[in-house]
Structure 1
């Protein structure tokens, strides 16, 4: 589905009775006064609401829900789709590439940031529960924020969206199925055949730094509220800055390049392994439940991380 840019003011809402983005359009009206004769005032830009879109996907998550990997043709199309996002103005290419992969297409303004946004969401047909991709078009694409386990790593989708909104020119890549769906095939962080992985690889190939957000139970690592690592990729300055930012905000990090972090280092993460092969920047970020459980903790973490993504 394409959200039109002209002729209507668009508002996105969630229809609780069915899956899908419900678009409500109001016809644009001429202003009653203050305009030159025969001149039509500019229509307000349409709105695409990432929060509603993510909430809709979250409502459909289930360990018994549908999922499948892309077939060979879809894999090729996914590579083209990732490439189209590197040109934020390639609206036709994005709509064509992602439309063929079962994604709906929205093109408008984020109501929170008031910045131009491209919003893509897989419709779930034919088990293609492939998630959400958001692109902030206010600046050149330069950072990718990844959420591989929405719903399972509770509230990581909220942190991912917050980081995306704080960093102009960022991409949010969120999985669309519960990690236990399809006997675990939907665990995209460990599945190198997933659409999520294919997009992440192309982003790494293009030189975009990736930050992947996970969560852990506090009991699994006493004495730390976060784990910052680079998975299989080389130690990098972005990971160091994020760890320092968290520490400065009073969130105690375990730095995986300094010490062991309770097997939370992400060394088996497939996106991290691909980044290592491509010599790309990858940060594997684990946040404890004490950080994720309430809005204040999530906001503190996002505020500590975002300046380093925007640097």
Structure 2
């Protein structure tokens, strides 16, 4: 795949806001969602600011309540219904777990996005959010399992979603250490809403891109650790992504060519992608990269350009 000129791609950032009793919209006003998930407003918001506010004000302080199997299944089925165009039915299913759907127009891109989020318990359950680009048929996902814990990783997810149409952004709703038993670490648990939604997308054969962060001292000679987790089907995509990143000046440790730290082989979303035979990329970025907004934009655009059509 040809790597497009990054200057032609849209800049990054996008937030997960919602109608939680403690969460404000990106414009500072409380939101609401009509019964059954029907759209009641089409606000214009800066989605980057919205997600950033959500991670800072909610995710960073959220408790974590492990969901029941039926609740996980309901969330995943509702996302599937929405992707199938059965939006009213999706809304009714989400009502059962006190989630809702809202739509927004992103001021940076002019595109509309749907937000699936906790209506009443954000900050208490920590089940996360889903964003769906409504400007094109959905066919790939970007996943942020460790917001706040991997500081700035949400900005990479936001940037990829903005840089390419047809994406679904899945984001955890609590710090990975929010639960003392480790149950909030969604990249390594099968019993989370995050994992259930990612499984639904993998079953629909959506390639998955999961973004993480590492301390500079972990791999001091590299800016990026690119790996497949355990999903070997993603090798062509991984090679394209690594090449695009190198062209942008990033030093990339390619786990399929040499030994790298943090290769993500225990990542459960990667294992599901392997079972489904769909591409999956596990991308780790240094703290120095994640702290530099310009480099985050370039990295996001490079990854977006490398995703399969």
Settle same-fold status: TM greater than 0.5: yes
2:245 maps to which residue?
246
Cross-structure match for 1:132: 129
Q: 1:279 is matched with which residue: 264, 277, 280?
A: 277
Please list the CA deviations of residues 66-98 of structure 1 after superposition, one character each: whole Å capped at 9, or x if unmatched: 1122212212312311312322x4321332233
SS state at 1:106 partner: strand
Cα deviation digits, residues 124-160 of structure 1 (max 9, x gap):
6284221121100111101100000000101111111
- What is the CA-CA distance between 1:48 and the residue it aligns to? 4.9
Q: 1:99 to 1:161 in 2, by over 3 A?
A: farther
Counterparts of residues 65-104 of structure 1 (less than 5 Å): 65-87=62-84, 89-104=85-100
Paired position in structure 2 for 1:3 = none
- Structure 1 residue aligned with 2:149: 152
Range with greater deviation from structure 2 (109-118 or 249-258): 109-118
Indicate if the aligned counterparts of 1:14 and 1:56 stay in contact, CA closer than 8 A. Answer: no
Q: For residues 101 and 236 of structure 1, what CA distance do their matches in structure 2 show? A: 37
Q: Aligned partners of 1:241 and 1:46: how far apart in 2? A: 36
TM-score under structure 2 normalisation? 0.83
Structure 2: distance between partners of 1:108 and 1:62: 24
Name 1:202's counterpart in structure 2.
200
Distance 1:174 1:138, change over 3 A: same
Give the whole-Å Cα distance in 1 for the aligned partners of 2:51 and 2:140.
19
Tell me if structure 1 keeps the 8 A contact 2:228–2:264: yes
Q: Which residue of 2 aligns with 1:116?
A: 112
Q: Figure out how many residues of one structure are paired with residues of the other and give that number.
A: 278
Find the aligned partners of 1:157 and 1:124 in 2 and give their Cα distance: 23
Task: State how 1:185-264 maps to structure 2 within 5 Å.
Answer: 185-234=183-232, 235-262=234-261, 264=262
Task: Name 1:297's counterpart in structure 2.
Answer: 295
Partner of 1:19: 23
Distance (Å, rounded) in 2 between the aligned partners of 1:281 and 1:138: 23
Give 3-state SS (helix, strand or coil) of 1:272's partner: helix
Q: Secondary structure at the match of 1:160?
A: helix
How many Å separate the matches in 2 of 1:244 and 1:93?
42
Tell me, in whole angstroms, the C-alpha distance in 1 between the residues paired with 2:174 and 2:278. 26
- Indicate how the Cα distance of structure 1 residues 49 and 94 shifts in structure 2: closer, same or farther if over 3 A, else same: farther
After superposition, the CA RMSD in angstroms is 2.5
Q: Is the 8 A contact 1:231 1:282 kept in 2?
A: yes
Structure-1 separation of matches of 2:134 and 2:18: 24
* In 2, Cα distance between equivalents of 1:46 and 1:114: 11
Q: CA deviation at 1:13?
A: 8.7
Alpha-carbon offset, residue 24 of structure 1: 7.4
**Whose Rg is larger?**
1
Cα distance in 1 for partners of 2:111, 2:177 equals 35
Displacement of 1:52 in angstroms is 4.0
More relative contact order in 1 or in 2 (CA 8 Å, sep 6+)? 2
| Aligned residues of 1:85 and 1:135 also touching (Cα < 8 A) | no
Normalising by structure 1, report the TM-score: 0.82
Shift in Å, 1:62:
3.7
Could you tell me which runs of 5 or more consecutive residues in structure 1 were left unpaired when the two chains were aligned: 1-11, 26-43
